[in-house]
Amino acid sequence: MNLDIVILAAGKGTRMNSNLPKVLHRIGGDSMLGHVLSAASQLQAAKTHIVVGYGADEIRENFADRADLQWAMQEQQLGTGHAVMQAMPGVDVSDSDKKILVLYGDVPLINFDTLSKLVQQSETNTLSILTLVTDRPTGLGRIVRDDGGKILAIVEEKDASEEQKQIKEINTGIMVISAPKLNFWLDALCNDNAQGEYYLTDVVAMAAADADCALAAMVINDENEVQGVNDKAQLAMLERHYQMNKADQLLEAGVLLCDPSRIDIRGELTTGSDVEIDINALFEGKVTLGNGVKVGANVCIKDSTIADNAHILPGSIIEGADIGERASVGPYARIRPGTVLKQDTKIGNFVETKNAIIGKGSKASHLAYIGDAELGENVNIGAGTIFCNYDGVSKHKTLIGNNVFIGSNSVLVAPVKLADNAFVAAGSSVNSDVPADTLAVGRAKQRNISGWKRPTKK
Ligand code: UD1
Ligand code: MG
């Protein structure tokens, strides 16, 4: 099909009470316009035009990587018809087969299947409208039909008679129109109505009056899919709806969710079999959970892979990491970007890691900072160990072999190497390399002063 898409996104969204352009507000971690574009992209249209006005530069910057998009500027928001007019110079209206799909940037949950059906239906029609039958039509354009059910016009709430206000079938705003016809009708639009705007919806009456034009409506069932966002309450409502959908998909895939209403996914979560997720887990970006992974309560995981049977205990935060099979993380661990935990590792409470490879079976069970390091297998990092990776200017590396033991409350001043089987005495400051099979004692020798008296108050 020879299709162009026009997305209307020029409105300020006054009722959002925000400086951020309305279509950049987020649902499930992606902007509303991003969601619309994701659904639209799957249609493989010839061109996608976005009509912007308020915050145009900011919106464009957010999609700077999408060189395929055509931007049209609407300086003044004079109505939906006027908005579409701004995109028309970019549409090849000499092509009699060209169709235009109109979408709204603030109707984020519209999905590809619906659009694809509407576009298919439009192949035999001049104009196809996506409509909804609802008990709450207030504020929306009503679909006016004759006794035989033929569509005659769309009447906006503010222009509707009392009788027309009783109509429950409403215009979702989404429609597919023949491009040359639309171009012709847009020329004839006037703003002689209650809002003094150029209504796109007025083209429906023009199409109905044209004997050569076929009109059709496709009625959609899911109200949320066509719900527009005008304020933060509607944004929050759609966010919950979106998250419930995500939770339902996980449940269907066999994931155990302790409470499907207390999980948030802002990106793409892939799960293996027998995954268990406790309450208030947050997943961002691309996250993969292998088979048998358990995620505890209040865990945040971003852009990470968790291998089979790893357990993430409550309160842990993981970002940009690769967690190996049967690894145990937390409770209250902070795993930062560049962390690789090999299989059977343990990172316990109040341990922070960054840019660190932790070898198979190695453990840091309590209170430690491990940054810019490579640890071999079966290393034990005692409580309170700090890897001093930063000298105030540059970062340096700490390299640790297999079976190394770091006694509690030690500092390892990088760059430094500890070879296999090295043993660091508790409370050491290690600033030179430790050879294999060697004990390093890096602390002042203890002196005992006998007969010493505590100071007393005078
Ligand atoms: C519009 C429809 C109405 C439909 C409703 C569905 C018209 C005249 N009315 O009404 O039939 O039931 O949507 O939500 O089309 N926009 C621009 N430039 C403008 C005006 C609007 O880009 O000059 C954009 C807005 O940013 C928004 C969309 O178009 O994304 C719809 O505008 P809005 O003012 O919300 O339309 P409604 O009056 O709600
Ligand atoms: Mg409006």
pLDDT > 70 in the chain, percent: 100
Atom index in ligand 1 nearest the CA of residue 74 equals 18
Domain with CATH 2.160.10.10 in the chain: 249-440
Are residues 423 and 438 in contact, defined by beta-carbon separation less than 8 angstroms? Answer: yes
**Integer Cα distance of 281 and 299 in angstroms:** 5
* The predicted structure's pLDDT at residue 335: 99
Q: Which ligand lies nearest the alpha carbon of 172? A: 1
The verdict on the CB of residue 78 being under 6 Å from ligand 1 is yes
Q: Which stretch of 57-61, 204-208, 445-449 has the lowest confidence by average pLDDT? A: 445-449
Domain with CATH 3.90.550.10 in the chain: 3-226
- Res. 458: pLDDT tops 90: no
- How much is the mean pLDDT over the chain? 97
Active site residues: 366
> How many whole angstroms from 201 Cα to the centroid of ligand 2?
13
- In this prediction, residues 291-310 reach a mean pLDDT of 98
Task: Produce one character per residue of 241-265: b if its CB has 16 or more CB atoms within 10 Å, e if not.
Answer: bbbebbbeebeeeebebeeeebbbb
- In this prediction, residues 359-371 reach a mean pLDDT of 98
Are residues 191 and 79 in contact, defined by beta-carbon separation less than 8 angstroms? Answer: yes
Summarize pLDDT for 108-146 with one digit per residue, the tens.
Answer: 999 999 999 999 999 999 999 999 999 999 999 999 999
**Per-residue confidence at 280, pLDDT binned at 50, 70, 90?**
very high
**Per-residue confidence at 300, pLDDT binned at 50, 70, 90?**
very high
The verdict on the CB of residue 141 being under 6 Å from ligand 1 is yes
Q: Which ligand lies nearest the alpha carbon of 139? A: 1
Q: Please give the span between the terminal C-alpha atoms of the chain, in angstroms, as a whole number.
A: 96
- Contacts of residue 24, defined as CB under 8 A and 6 or more positions apart, other chains included, come to 31, 32, 33, 55, 58, 59, 62
Helices (H) and strands (E) in the chain, counts: 8, 34
Question: Which H or E element spans position 81?
Answer: helix 80-87
- Res. 190: pLDDT tops 90: yes
- In this prediction, residues 8-32 reach a mean pLDDT of 96
Residue 244 CA to chain centroid, in angstroms? 15
**Integer Cα distance of 155 and 293 in angstroms:** 54
> How many whole angstroms from 231 Cα to the centroid of ligand 2?
12
Question: In angstroms, what CA-CA distances link 63 with 58, 59, 246, 334?
Answer: 9, 7, 25, 32
The verdict on the CB of residue 275 being under 6 Å from ligand 1 is no
> How many whole angstroms from 378 Cα to the centroid of ligand 2?
64
Question: In angstroms, what CA-CA distances link 91 with 88, 319, 388?
Answer: 5, 44, 61
* The predicted structure's pLDDT at residue 403: 98
CATH class of the region 249-440: mainly beta
Summarize pLDDT for 154-171 with one digit per residue, the tens.
Answer: 999 999 999 999 999 999
- Res. 99: pLDDT tops 90: yes
**Integer Cα distance of 312 and 328 in angstroms:** 6
Summarize pLDDT for 50-63 with one digit per residue, the tens.
Answer: 999 999 999 999 99
**Per-residue confidence at 393, pLDDT binned at 50, 70, 90?**
very high
The verdict on the CB of residue 87 being under 6 Å from ligand 1 is no
The verdict on the CB of residue 204 being under 6 Å from ligand 1 is no
For domain 3-226, the CATH architecture is Alpha-Beta Complex (3.90)
**Per-residue confidence at 325, pLDDT binned at 50, 70, 90?**
very high
- Res. 428: pLDDT tops 90: yes
* The predicted structure's pLDDT at residue 351: 98
Residue whose CB lies within 8 A of the most ligand 1 atoms, among 16, 33, 54, 104, for a mutation test: 104
**Integer Cα distance of 102 and 293 in angstroms:** 43
- Res. 1: pLDDT tops 90: no
**Per-residue confidence at 251, pLDDT binned at 50, 70, 90?**
very high
* The predicted structure's pLDDT at residue 12: 87
**Integer Cα distance of 113 and 305 in angstroms:** 30
Summarize pLDDT for 26-53 with one digit per residue, the tens.
Answer: 999 999 999 999 999 999 999 999 999 9
**What six digits make up the tokens of 204?**
């429906």
